[in-house]
Amino acid sequence: MSVDRYKQIANGLYKFMEPKIKTSVPTPTEDDYKNGFIVRYFCQRTNDKNGPILEIDSSNYSNINSNKFYTVVSIRWRISGNIEPIYDSNGNIKYKSVQESNRLSIKLVEDSMPNLKLYLPNLLQFHK
């Protein structure tokens, strides 16, 4: 590194452009309830797996997705359906419960964002 470059960095002339992250909690619509799910988006600093997890909207997700300093995930979150599983005549699960579906959605991204389950303790959030 050149001495001039070092001086620029040391004097604060070089600044890292951090994206502006606006948190967003979804508001399901009647169409969402008819579909039975919404897509939820989350981000977290890549170098801090225990750092805060922020819920964001789809446009923020698209903007941050290419930023190597952030890990982003999206999950399909069930908001309608049965709270209890439904079994067939043989005793096998025919339809999973809403809680189990949401638990599995979280589990699918746990390699990328291990503490998401702590951020989403209420597996029936938005359920109707």
φ, ψ of residue 68 to 5 degrees: the values are -70, -15
State the pLDDT confidence band at 12, using cuts at 50, 70 and 90: low
The full set of domain ranges for the chain reads 18-119
Q: pLDDT digit string (tens) for 52-110?
A: 999 999 999 998 988 888 999 999 999 998 888 777 677 776 667 899 999 999 999 99
Tokens coding 8: 């620029």
For the chain, the C-alpha Rg in angstroms (whole number) is 20
